[in-house]
Amino acid sequence: MAMLRSVFLAAAGSSRLERLVESAPVSRGVVRRFVAGSGAEDALRTSRALADDGLAVSLDHLGEDTETPEQAQAVRDEYLMLLSRLREAGLTPAAEVSVKLSALGQKFDPAVAVEHARAVCAAAAQAGTTVTLDAEDHTTTDSTLEILADLRKDHPTTGAVLQAYLRRTEADCRELAASGSRVRLCKGAYAEPESVAFQSALDVDKSYVRCLNVLMSGDGYPMVATHDPRLIAIAEDRARWFDRSSDEFEFQMLYGVRPDEQARLAADGHTVRVYVPYGRQWYGYLMRRLAERPANVAFFSRALTSR
Ligand code: FAD
């Protein structure tokens, strides 16, 4: 399993393989399970359907590691357009957006990324909703958390994402578990070296629980992002222990993953937010989903061979 994970995570960074997979006609069916569609129209339709089922959403316009100022500007403009359409459609505040700073230019000019992120936060505020900054590989963590602190001066509800596989994360949770902060806790989806990240599933899970304890006992708003039944049960237990009602924390899961569990938690009275990616640049996202679970790989191979 660890071997498969590293193969798919290495594939996520290969542009040659990206061209090959994207041009395979069967890919579309596979993508459709995890991605809402290619345009804002698809994102809106999916958000409406999920809202009708009592689920909140966070929309992610797919794309990362933007290389030019023009691309970064186009990503910003897509989010501005999306936010105004969500507002017009009456889908806010149940729909918010998730943003990757690398898509806004963080790697070639952090100042440009900050400027664009600020514009997206302002548009979200105008639409009556929030922004969460996705976490990417560990080389970006310091920069992302600095940018978050800066954005929160004007937009205090801007959400952070912390990855339990990073050794630093329990300390980051302590920093961020303050009143008014929104923190999404996930396991982490990138290939990371042992020097910075726990490598075994057990160590990652143990770190997740320690982080969960910090967030649930703190004063912020924890966003528990996992499909793991044991961690979900522990989160429910901690929420009871720390007397958190359904508007004082939420569960989050990915579009297409464990929809029955999403419905069960919502029916139990929990706030459940589905992370919904849309757009044409689905390759890196899909490879990370395949890395997570052998059953996803089996699903992908069946689609490749069943034509
Ligand atoms: P896993 O260890 O993948 O799975 C644990 C258990 O969950 C499995 O054993 C199984 O019992 C169950 N399970 C998992 N998948 C399925 C399935 N398809 N069907 C049935 N059971 C299943 N990562 C980042 O690095 N940065 C981010 O910004 C980020 N944002 C995220 C936002 C959300 C809302 C979510 C849910 C995840 C996000 N991730 C992000 C990804 C995350 O880091 C993990 O890679 C991903 O969620 C898989 O971890 P898991 O906690 O679900 O547990």
- Per residue in 76-131, pLDDT tens? 999 999 999 999 999 999 999 999 999 999 999 999 999 999 999 999 999 999 99
- Amino acid 20: pLDDT: 67
Mutate to test the pocket of ligand 1, among 1, 227, 249 (most ligand atoms within 8 A of CB): 227
Query: Is there an atom of ligand 1 within 6 Å of 134 CB?
Result: yes
For residue 100, the ligand 1 atom closest to its alpha carbon is 28
Looking at the DSSP assignment, which residues form a beta bridge with residue 186? 163
Q: Please report the beta strands in the chain, taking only residues with DSSP state E, as ranges in sequence order.
A: 56-61, 95-99, 131-133, 159-163, 182-186, 221-225, 250-254, 272-278
State the Cα–Cα distance between residues 148 and 162, nearest whole angstrom.
12
State the Cα–Cα distance between residues 51 and 49, nearest whole angstrom.
5
Distance, CA 112 to ligand 1 centroid (Å)?
30
- The mean per-residue pLDDT over the stretch 267-296 comes to 88
Please check the confidence at residue 34 and state whether its pLDDT lies above 60: yes
- Indicate the CATH number for domain 36-281: 3.20.20.220
Distance, CA 154 to ligand 1 centroid (Å)?
31
Is 138 part of any known ligand binding site? no
For the whole prediction, is pTM greater than 0.90? yes
- Amino acid 307: pLDDT: 39
- Amino acid 302: pLDDT: 59
3-state secondary structure of 296: helix
Query: Is there an atom of ligand 1 within 6 Å of 209 CB?
Result: no
Percent of the chain with pLDDT over 90: 79
3-state secondary structure of 188: coil
State the Cα–Cα distance between residues 169 and 208, nearest whole angstrom.
9
3-state secondary structure of 275: strand
State the Cα–Cα distance between residues 64 and 169, nearest whole angstrom.
22
CB contact burial 72-108 (16+ within 10 A = b; e otherwise): bbebbebbbebbebbbeeebbebbbbbbbbbbbbbbe
- Amino acid 100: pLDDT: 96
Residues 194-245 have pLDDT tens digits of: 999 999 999 999 999 999 999 999 999 999 999 999 999 999 999 999 999 9
- Interface predicted TM-score of the whole assembly (ipTM), two decimals: 0.98
Which residue carries 């498969």 as its tokens?
4
Query: Is there an atom of ligand 1 within 6 Å of 253 CB?
Result: yes
> Which two structure tokens, joined as six digits, stand for 165?
């596989």
State the Cα–Cα distance between residues 230 and 122, nearest whole angstrom.
38
Residues 56-82 have pLDDT tens digits of: 999 999 988 899 999 999 999 999 999
- Name the band, by pLDDT with cuts 50, 70 and 90, for residue 27: low
* Cβ(252)–Cβ(223) below 8 Å: yes
State the Cα–Cα distance between residues 113 and 75, nearest whole angstrom.
10
> Which two structure tokens, joined as six digits, stand for 135?
């976490």
Task: Provide the residue count of the chain.
Answer: 307
Q: Which of 118, 182, 184, 238 is catalytic?
A: 184
State the Cα–Cα distance between residues 178 and 123, nearest whole angstrom.
25
Catalytic site residue 45? no
* Structural Rg of the chain based on CA atoms: 18
Which residue carries 């149940």 as its tokens?
94
Please check the confidence at residue 294 and state whether its pLDDT lies above 70: no
Please check the confidence at residue 26 and state whether its pLDDT lies above 60: no
Domain ranges for the chain, please list them: 36-281
Query: Is there an atom of ligand 1 within 6 Å of 191 CB?
Result: no
Query: Is there an atom of ligand 1 within 6 Å of 207 CB?
Result: no
- Name the band, by pLDDT with cuts 50, 70 and 90, for residue 306: very low
Percent of the chain with pLDDT over 70: 92
Catalytic site residue 243? no
Mutate to test the pocket of ligand 1, among 59, 144, 293 (most ligand atoms within 8 A of CB): 293
